[in-house]
Amino acid sequence: AIQLTQSPSSLSASVGDRVSITCRTGHAISTALAWYQQKPGKAPKPLIYDASRLESGVPSRFSGSGSGTDFTLTISSLQPEDFATYYCQHFNSYPLTFGGGTKVEIK
């Protein structure tokens, strides 16, 4: 199984900050990666697919980059509604694994 390692596991940031989250895979997966946002008590919501494509309706302050084994989710200017946990997931082959998550908290 392809292991996904997210870093950091948590971070504290202020409104307006630029935030980056990294997802590293143990095997090259081209751009077969998605990012999700999950708020407490809610189901995950897709943000990015194919490593860099923005899901419809997602604000443009979210962006994704990377290919192969190293990927990044960036929030260009953190907004109050962005405080949540973020997960990466690969779609290279089964089993479809998720990263461990990154919790973004208010500083």
Partner 1 sequence: EVQLVESGGGLVKPGGSLRLSCAASGFSFRNYTMNWVRQAPGKGLEWLSSITSSSTYIYYADAVRGRFTISRDNAKNSLFLQMSSLRAEDTALYYCVRETLTTSWYFDLWGRGTLVTVSS
Residues that bind partner 1 (CB under 8 A): 1, 32, 34, 36, 38, 43-46, 49-50, 53, 55, 87, 89, 91, 94-101
The CB-of-24 to partner 1 minimum distance in angstroms stands at: 16
The CB-of-102 to partner 1 minimum distance in angstroms stands at: 10
The residue (of 77 and 93) whose beta carbon lies closer to partner 1 is: 93
The residue (of 14 and 56) whose beta carbon lies closer to partner 1 is: 56
Task: Please work out, in degrees rounded to the nearest 5, the angle formed at the alpha carbon of residue 88 by the alpha carbons of 85 and 94.
Answer: 135
Residue with tokens 């989250």: 21
Structure tokens at 93: 């082959």
Residue with tokens 């998550």: 101
Sheet of 62-67: strands edge to edge?
4-7, 19-25, 70-75, 62-67
The CB-of-80 to partner 1 minimum distance in angstroms stands at: 23
